[in-house]
Amino acid sequence: MKILVVSNLLTNRAEPERATFNWAQVRALAKLADVVAVAPVPWVPPLPVASWRERRSVPEHERIDGIDVYHPRYLVVPKTARPVHG
C-alpha cells in the first residue's frame, strides 16, 4: 500500500522541531506502508528577515527518517494577500 501525506505542518531541515506530533504520525504510517510526504513551504521574495531566510533554505526534496518529503513552494507576500496564500 502507498500513502501520500499532504500537510504544511511537517518538519523540514530549517524547522526540525516543527509539528513533531504530525511527524510522529507519518513515521508510524511508514511502518505499515510506503509513505511519501508533500509539505509545501512558503516562497517569499528575498528580504532581510532571518525567519524567511531559513525557510528559503529548505530543499525541494529531502529524506527524513527514511521518508521522502517534497517541499513545493507557494507564493507568500508577508502582511498582504493572506486570502490567496496556497
The domain locations on the chain are 2-84
Distance CA 23, CA 17 (A): 10
What pLDDT, on the 0 to 100 scale, is given for residue 44?
72
> Per-block average pLDDT, block size 10, for the chain (86 residues)?
94 88 95 96 76 79 95 79 63
φ, ψ at 46 (rounded to 5°): -60, 110
pTM of this structure: 0.81
